[in-house]
Structures are given as C-alpha cells and as structure tokens.
C-alpha cells in the first residue's frame, strides 16, 4: 500500500511541477503531457495532458522545473543546474526511500524531459514529459 501511495504521489507531483518552467522557458500558458512507466506494474498508466499558466517569476526560477510539490516535504533537491536550455537535478526522498535524477530541455515553444526514480525494493519509475507553449494566459 505504501508503494501505491508513493507512486500516486509522484505522479501528481510530476503532473504539476514541470509546467512551472525554468529560466529557459517563458511565462504563459503551457500544455504538458506526462507518461509514466513502472516496470512490473500489471497495467500501464495512460498519458495525462493538462494546461497550466506560469508567471514571469516562476519562469525565472530553475527549481520550479523540478517535479515536486508541497506533499514531498521529505524530498531534497541537489545539483539543480541550468546549462543553456536544459535544467537537470537530483532528488532524494528519505521517508519514501527513493532517489532520482531528471532533465528538461526547452526550445522556443516546447520542452521534453524525463525523470528516473529508484525506490526501496529495487523498484523503478520512469517519467517522460513533453510540453508546448499555447500563448498568453487567459485573463481572469
């Protein structure tokens, strides 16, 4: 049950965080698609697509590209780096005994990325991200 909760938690985090683009991205409305693969799972999760607006301030902070959320209080980031239009990072989650690495690479109006996690019991999770810029955010 703990593994299932952790897997769901990581999926939610992965869905939310990549749209908070890093320095190489731009503010505005983004559409993100996330695919997750967990070897050994009886069925594959379907890709999920959603849209989200990011502010100029969010777009300027490289750590906003790292898949994590408020629910990942035990996860610590390290080696967050921006190299041109690519953001890379390492993540360690003590409570859930997981660690991983990830990268996201931006072009003018899109991005692709991946994150690989290793969990206790030699379990693995692989996520792929793709996103495209849709334009200005809708006025509220």
Domain boundaries, the chain: 2-135
pTM: 0.70
pLDDT band for position 118 (cuts 50, 70, 90): very high
Percent of the chain with pLDDT over 90: 19
Dist. CA 94–CA 33, nearest whole Å: 28
Cα–Cα distance list, 127 to 42, 56, 85 (Å): 17, 26, 20
Per-residue pLDDT tens over the stretch 81-98 = 989 889 899 988 888 788
| Predicted local distance difference test score (pLDDT) of residue 101 | 93
Burial of 73 (0-12, 13-18, 19+ CB in 10 A): exposed
Cα–Cα distance list, 139 to 17, 26, 27, 28, 87 (Å): 22, 17, 14, 11, 29
Of the candidates 62, 26, 36, 3, the one whose C-alpha atom is nearest the C-alpha of residue 125 is 36
5-9, 75-79, 128-132, range with the lowest pLDDT:
5-9
Q: What is the CATH architecture of 2-135?
A: Beta Barrel (2.40)
């Amino acid at each position: 049950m703990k593994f299932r909760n952790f897997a769901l938690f990581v999926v939610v985090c992965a869905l939310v965080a990549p749209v908070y683009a890093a320095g190489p991205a731009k503010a505005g409305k983004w559409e993100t698609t996330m695919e997750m693969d967990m070897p050994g799972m009886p069925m594959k999760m379907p890709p999920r697509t959603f849209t989200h607006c990011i502010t100029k301030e969010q777009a300027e902070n490289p750590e906003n590209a790292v898949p994590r959320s408020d629910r990942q209080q035990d996860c610590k980031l390290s080696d967050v780096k921006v190299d041109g239009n690519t953001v890379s990072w390492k993540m360690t989650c003590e409570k859930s005994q997981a660690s991983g690495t990830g990268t996201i690479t931006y072009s003018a109006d899109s991005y692709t990325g991946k994150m690989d996690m290793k969990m206790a019991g030699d379990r693995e999770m692989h996520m792929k991200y793709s996103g495209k810029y849709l334009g200005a955010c809708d006025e509220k």
